[in-house]
Amino acid sequence: MKISLFFAGHWGLSVLLQSLFQHRYAAHRMYTMGPKTERSLHLLTALVQGSSYLEPRAYAILHREHHAFADTEKDPHSPAHHGNPARMMLATARRYAAFVTRRKQPESRFLGGYPEWPALERTFGHWPSRVAFGALYTLFYRRFATRRWQYLLLPLHFVMGPVHGAIVNWCGHRYGYRNFRTRDESRNSLPMDVLCMGELFQNNHHARPANPDFASRRFELDPTWQVMRLLARLKLIRLAHVPRGQDVEAAQEPLQMPARARSVIPRSEMMEDAVAATP
Ligand SMILES: [Zn+2]
Ligand SMILES: [Zn+2]
């Protein structure tokens, strides 16, 4: 029971913070917050993601490239151009590492607007920290595991961020239904995405990349957006704009996006009258 709770908690919180902090804040600037709140959220993200913490700068650059080149040969992670999820994520990991070490310079339009905290990156972004977190997870399993099969879950804690990335990037551009006719292959994989906290609404998100609510139809639920609404009500964050009632074209222009990052947002095409495809 304790192992199940630990696994579910680590999974849910890791992907929630990836969606909330690295994706919707660092890459898209869907909301703003004060410097102390930003540092607190940054630290919380590093502590929760632990072994597989992702640097917001490198994440944001990769993700902006993904939006700009979605499902073309220049997309850093597209099922259309990588043979299987493992190859796709290996290529993504190599590109991510090149941006972290600054061996690779991205186009200037992908730079800026993300949180940078060099001391934190030096602490949490390197192997000693990743191994230490891995040791803590192992100690927890040694103390509380009651069945041998539970140890099969342990490696997932070490690579949780990349596992979430693989699920979202592969399934979100391969399996599911489409609400919008976009130029890419994006899909909505689950109508109520509690598995990846809203990240599997890839089609909605590619059509309206500035909209912080990834759900677009009545039956869809985006948990991370509900958390953002709560944080905004508590005045911890300020939302860039209110999504409901805006049409697709109006939602293309973010209010708070930094000028350099704004140019990477692709323009979607018209919304289809009905859900065209089924999962
Ligand atoms: Zn995508
Ligand atoms: Zn995005």
The Å distance, Cα 168 to ligand 1 centre, comes to: 8
Nearest partner of 107 among 211, 269, 263, 250, judged by Cα: 263
Greater pLDDT, 48 or 246: 48
pLDDT at 244: 54
Chain segment 228-248, per-residue pLDDT in tens = 999 999 999 999 865 554 444
Read off the pLDDT of residues 142-167 as tens digits, 9 standing for 90 and up.
Answer: 999 999 999 999 999 999 999 999 99
Q: How far is the CA of 204 from the centre of ligand 1 (A)?
A: 10
Which pLDDT score, from 0 to 100, does residue 266 have? 39
The closest ligand to the CA of 265 turns out to be 2
Return the percent helix, strand and coil in the chain, to nearest 5. 55, 5, 45
CB-based contact 207:183 (threshold 8 Å): no
Closest listed ligand to the CA of 205: 2
| One-character DSSP codes across 59-96 | HHHHHHHHHHTTTSTT-SS-TTTSSSHHHHHHHHHHHH
Ligand 2 centroid to 51 CA: how many Å?
23
- 117: pLDDT strictly greater than 70: yes
* Angle in degrees, CA 36, 7, 149, rounded to 5: 160
Mean pLDDT (whole number) for 80-98 = 93
For residue 80, give the ligand nearest its CA. 1
What average pLDDT does range 87-100 have in this prediction? 95
The pLDDT of residue 182 is above 70: yes
**Residue-level pLDDT at 240:** 86
CA 243 to CA 43: how far, in whole Å? Answer: 28
Looking at the CA of 59, name the nearest ligand.
2
Query: What average pLDDT does range 39-64 have in this prediction?
Result: 97
pLDDT over 80 at 260, yes or no: no
Cα(67) to centroid(ligand 1), Å: 7
* Band (48; pLDDT cuts 50, 70, 90): very high
CA distance 279 to 167: 15
- Between the CA of 25 and the centroid of ligand 2 the distance, in Å, is 10
Give distance in angstroms: CA of 236 to centre of ligand 2: 22
> Of 100-109, 172-181, 241-250, where does mean pLDDT reach its minimum?
241-250
Whole-number mean pLDDT of the chain? 88
Identify the nearest ligand to the CA of 62 by its number. Answer: 2
Measured in Å, residue 21 CA sits from the centre of ligand 1 at 17
pLDDT top residue among 249 and 13: 13
User: What's the average model confidence in pLDDT over 60-67?
Assistant: 97
User: Ligand 1 center to residue 173 CA distance, Å?
Assistant: 6
- Asked whether the beta carbons of 75 and 172 are under 8 A apart, the reply is no
Ligand 1 midpoint to CA 35 (Å):
29
- Reply yes or no on whether the pLDDT at 271 is more than 60: no
Ligand closest to the CA atom of residue 22: 2
- CA 59 – CA 155 distance, rounded (Å): 22
Q: What is the pLDDT of residue 275?
A: 35
- pLDDT reported for residue 83: 86
pLDDT above 60 for 278: no
Check residue 246 and give its pLDDT: 47
Name the band, by pLDDT with cuts 50, 70 and 90, for residue 255.
Answer: very low
Which of 31-45, 103-117, 180-194, 265-279 has the least mean pLDDT? 265-279
